[in-house]
């Protein structure tokens, strides 16, 4: 409970009078948040900018970044073409966002349609998710998946490397996000402040080096 308090200082602590209505809203939000079962998947149109800046940062040592944020663009081609987009995050760790995507967004692909799916994910999948992805792609030959990742997760582990290779063999394209990809996510999936011009994406200083670093590692693995 302490941690929560630190994350959300109330206005009174900041020396501003607490707006009663806002306080009520906050309380409601908080209650909602705590009532969620531990594997609730939070989906939304756009993710908060501070989440993006922290979770998607392509740092080498990602301490504290134990959630997965998954932004997706799903193009469906059949008699009529349709595109849907959104994002998922895993609350706690019982259901990872990758698994949740297949159970909530695309539970049963229609064999008569073709799906082209792109994910922008803060880090590459764990072994279990990677294997689930491989299995899904093998089962549905009408589904093409490209995964753009900010960081590689536990890439030194032999079983992780093997799982990434299996994904590639199943037809999954795995790519490291370039600075332009982060910018794309910023423009398309991150909440912009109301009434302001969309803020330009500001790359962090080591964004290009980190991209180069992970791209090299991924090339070695695959």
Tell me the CATH number at 84.
3.40.140.10
Calculate the alpha carbon distances from 102 to 14, 50, 133, 179 in Å: 43, 26, 9, 28
Report yes or no on 18 lying in a domain: no
Question: Which pLDDT value is given to residue 194?
Answer: 62
Report yes or no on 15 lying in a domain: no
For the question of residue 98 being annotated catalytic, the response is yes
DSSP at 71: E
First to last CA, the chain: 43
Report yes or no on 6 lying in a domain: no
Report yes or no on 57 lying in a domain: yes
Report yes or no on 30 lying in a domain: no
Q: Which residues contact 56 (CB under 8 A, 6 or more apart)?
A: 69, 122, 150, 177, 182, 185
Low-confidence stretches of the chain (pLDDT beneath 50): 1-22, 24, 26-41, 62-65, 92-93
Question: Which pLDDT value is given to residue 172?
Answer: 98
* Predicted TM-score of the model (pTM): 0.73
Among the listed residues 21, 98, 159, 205, the single catalytic one is 98
Question: Which pLDDT value is given to residue 202?
Answer: 83
As for how many domains the chain has, the answer is: 1
Look at residues 97, 105, 99 and name the one whose alpha carbon lies nearest to residue 55.
97
- Beta bridge mates, 87: 44, 71
Question: Which pLDDT value is given to residue 55?
Answer: 58
Q: Residue 141's domain spans which residues?
A: 43-191+201-221
Report yes or no on 105 lying in a domain: yes
Question: Which pLDDT value is given to residue 78?
Answer: 86
Report yes or no on 153 lying in a domain: yes
Give tens-digit pLDDT for 10-63. Answer: 333 334 444 444 454 544 444 444 443 444 445 556 666 766 665 556 555 544
How many helical (H) and strand (E) elements, i.e. helices and strands, does the chain have? 8, 6
Report yes or no on 25 lying in a domain: no
Calculate the alpha carbon distances from 209 to 59, 105, 222 in Å: 10, 34, 20
Give tens-digit pLDDT for 14-28. Answer: 344 444 444 545 444
- Is the CB of residue 36 less than 8 Å from the CB of residue 65? no
Question: Which pLDDT value is given to residue 191?
Answer: 78
């Amino acid at each position: 409970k302490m941690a929560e308090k630190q994350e959300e200082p109330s206005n009174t602590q900041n020396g501003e009078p607490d707006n009663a209505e806002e306080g009520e809203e906050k309380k409601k939000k908080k209650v909602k948040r705590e009532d969620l079962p531990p594997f609730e998947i939070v989906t939304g149109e756009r993710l908060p900018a501070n989440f993006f800046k922290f979770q998607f940062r392509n740092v080498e040592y990602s301490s504290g970044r134990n959630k997965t944020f998954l932004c997706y663009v799903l193009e469906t081609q059949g008699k009529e073409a349709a595109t849907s987009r959104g994002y998922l995050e895993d609350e706690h760790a019982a259901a990872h966002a990758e698994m949740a995507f297949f159970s909530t967004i695309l539970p049963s692909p229609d064999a008569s349609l073709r799906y082209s799916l792109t994910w922008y994910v803060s880090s590459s999948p764990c072994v279990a998710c990677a294997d689930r992805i491989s299995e899904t792609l093998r089962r549905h030959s009408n589904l093409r998946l490209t995964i753009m990742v900010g960081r590689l997760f536990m890439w030194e582990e032999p079983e992780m490397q093997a799982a990434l290779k299996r994904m590639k063999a199943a037809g999954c394209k795995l790519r490291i996000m370039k600075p332009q990809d982060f910018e794309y996510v910023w423009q398309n999936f991150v909440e912009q402040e109301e009434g302001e011009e969309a803020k330009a994406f500001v790359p962090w200083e080591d964004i290009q080096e980190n991209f180069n670093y992970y791209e090299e590692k991924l090339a070695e693995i695959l």
